[in-house]
Amino acid sequence: MSEKKLTHPVVEKVVQTFYLAFEEKNVPLLKTVVTADWQYIPSISAVAQCRGADQMHDIFNHLGRALPDMKISIVDMLIQDKKVGIRAQVSGTQSGQLFGVAASSRQVHFAIHSFHEMRGEQVAKTWHLEDWLSVFQQIGQFPPDA
C-alpha cells in the first residue's frame, strides 16, 4: 500500500508548528508534529539514545533561561517529496547563562539550517546546525570549555 503524498500546505503547517514549538520551548506542541521515535541529529540531549519530543525538555529549559524572548523566522523552505530544507534566522536577548557564558543582556542573531524527513504528516528525523560561533562573537565571550 502506498503512502499518501503530502501537499505543500500540509508540510508548511507542520514545519511552522515545529519551529513555533522551539520558539515557545513547548514540548507538548512539539509532540503534535513529530513522531514518537523522532530523531534529532546531532543529539545534544544528555540521554543520547532518547528519541521523540521528550528529549527536548532539558534543551528547552536551557534555552528558556538563556534566550527567553527567542524568535525564529523561516527564511527559506524547500520541499521535495518527504524531505524539507529550512534556512532560518534566530534572534533573542541573552538573558541567562548560555553554555557556561554568563548573561550579557545582548541581542543575538544567528542562522540555523535544518533538513527534516517526513513520515506521514509528522517529522520523523531532523538534521540540524546552528551558528553558535556567531552568537559567541556577538556576546564577546566564548564558553569556558571551547
DSSP 85: E
Q: List the domains of the chain with CATH numbers.
A: 8-139 (3.10.450.50)
Q: d(Cα 41, Cα 67) in Å, to the nearest integer?
A: 21
Pairing of strands 34-41, 122-130: parallel
For the stretch 68-120, pLDDT in tens is 999 999 999 999 999 999 999 999 999 999 999 999 999 999 999 999 999 99
Distances in whole angstroms, Cα of residue 119 to Cα of each of 34, 63, 123, 125: 9, 27, 6, 9
pTM over 0.85: yes
38 within 8 A of 126, measured Cβ to Cβ? yes
